[in-house]
Structure 1
Amino acid sequence: MKQAIIFDMDGTLFQTNYILEPALAATFDYLREQGLWKGATPIDQYRKIMGVPLTVVWQTLCPEHDKSQHQESNRYFQQALIEQIENGTGSLYEQVEETLNQLAAHYPLYIASNGQMPYLQAIVKQYKLMKWIERVYSIDTVPSGNKSELVANVIRENSITSGFVVGDRASDIKAAQDNGLTAIGVHFDFAQPEELQQADFVVKSFAAIVQKIRA
């Protein structure tokens, strides 16, 4: 039997809120310069949907734009996020490094995220996560954009028989349930209490994950 732990990235390992506002502001400044946006940057609206596939992000924030413009906006936004990461603006959550080090001694660890791969790779490189993480999986590899399907790929490719999905949104919890794994919800920045109710366990600090896994 192979028991493993699969982590979400944004709002679970990485404090995306530190880089989200400046990157989104830069993107909407660009849209204003192009005459494609008027009014305030919809940061609060994005916070509410943080963690959904990027196609849904742009459909929600800019419903009047066509698919081509959504792709261009996302390209600009992704580059702005990566620049923020490389400039050291972001941060892992408190005790992530210590907890991953502790868990990696007993379990293989993976990341499965709705983020695009260059963005995920920037975080992994900046914070040297490959010391603990065996492989990173991006939603880029799943045409459906379905987190449950992404986690199923992690399970299949690594012969996982049991384990945990750790994340902050409903898609993480559903991905665990759909694949017969235990769902651990983290009640951090972007988490919604009504979504976390569906998790098997809920923690308010990253270090508390250790006790839930051993329970």
Structure 2
Amino acid sequence: MNDNHKLPKPEALIFDMDGTLFETDTLLIGVHERIFTTLREEGLHEGPTPPVEKLLGCLGMLLEDIWNIVMPDSSEAARKRADELMLQYELEGLVAGEGTLYPHVETTLRELKARGCKLFVASNGLEDYVKGVAEHRGIAGLFNGLYSAGEYKTATKVELVARLMKDHGIGAAWMVGDRSSDVEAGKGNGLPVIGCAYAVYGRQEELRGADVLIRDFRELLELQHSRIE
């Protein structure tokens, strides 16, 4: 962890979901193959399944942008159907016990909440998926709010975080995430950004501009404790 002593004490921490709290590939690898098997069966996709690494590299983006990259020559009908199948298969996987949180996420969140921090999620994902991960992995009750682009129809994460802060009257907060969209969301709302360098989905340069990089989720406890007045 590269500590930055200029960070203010936070009243709230705002977390991205995929690649920050949830180790998404533990769910998405199987989902990805099922999506394209179904699309081929329904005549909406021809040829082999795109590499799953392409999909994982898009995590943090809005769905419409994801499919434009993963299957750029697809029809609008195929992309719409892929949206439906992704959510269906993700929720089925979560119910079946697939997908894991990153190490130490639950215990760290519980300790932060016990210290009086307000906890939020701000994700570019779909509402049912974001809430489904939190509920099925037993952390939903730790959050003061679970915000998603799918629910609030925001075009950027900057807008989503602004909405969250306004709704809850949040002044001092830290944005915690692994992608450039998280850095932008924090900086666009005047917040310090904690970059999650343990995540494998984003390239390291995406976290350029983050105030602190952490390589273990537990480092948040030390970082937050050092700001207690």
TM-score by length of 1: 0.94
Contact 2:35 2:86 in 1 (8 A): yes
Partner of 1:23: 31
Whole-Å Cα distance in 2 between the matches of residues 170 and 82 of structure 1? Answer: 26
Aligned residues: 215
Measure how far apart 1:142 and its partner are.
4.1
Partner of 1:14: 22
Partner of 1:57: 66
Partner of 2:221: 210
Partner of 1:33: 41
Whole-Å Cα distance in 2 between the matches of residues 131 and 144 of structure 1? Answer: 24
Deviations, residues 47-87 of structure 1 (Å, cap 9, x unaligned): 22221111101111122223232111110111111111111
For residue 13 of structure 2, what is the amino acid of its counterpart? I
Percentage of identical aligned residues: 31
Partner of 1:5: 13
Measure how far apart 1:191 and its partner are.
2.8
Task: Choose from 136, 140, 145 the match for 1:126.
Answer: 136
With over 3 angstroms needed to count, the CA separation of the structure-2 counterparts of 1:33 and 1:125, relative to structure 1, is: same
Whole-Å Cα distance in 1 between the matches of residues 11 and 31 of structure 2? Answer: 37
Task: Choose from 157, 177, 200 the match for 1:189.
Answer: 200
Partner of 2:171: 161
TM-score by length of 2: 0.89
SS of residue in 2 equivalent to 1:206: coil
Find out whether 1:98 has 2:115 as its counterpart: no
Deviation above 4 Å: which 4+ runs of structure 1? none
Mean Cα deviation higher: 51-60 or 31-40: 31-40
Contact 1:17 1:189 in 2 (8 A): no
Partner of 1:42: 51
Partner of 2:80: 71
Alignment of 1:141-180 (within 5 A): 141-180=151-190
Structure 1 segments unaligned to the other structure (5+ residues): none
Whole-Å Cα distance in 2 between the matches of residues 186 and 163 of structure 1? Answer: 16
Measure how far apart 1:18 and its partner are.
0.4
Measure how far apart 1:43 and its partner are.
0.7
Measure how far apart 1:112 and its partner are.
0.6
Partner of 1:83: 92
Contact 2:127 2:151 in 1 (8 A): no
Whole-Å Cα distance in 2 between the matches of residues 76 and 180 of structure 1? Answer: 37
Root-mean-square deviation (Å): 1.6
Measure how far apart 1:144 and its partner are.
4.3
Whole-Å Cα distance in 1 between the matches of residues 190 and 63 of structure 2? Answer: 26
Whole-Å Cα distance in 1 between the matches of residues 142 and 42 of structure 2? Answer: 43
For residue 18 of structure 2, what is the amino acid of its counterpart? D
Measure how far apart 1:213 and its partner are.
2.8
Mean Cα deviation higher: 59-68 or 71-80: 59-68
Structure 2 segments unaligned to the other structure (5+ residues): 1-8
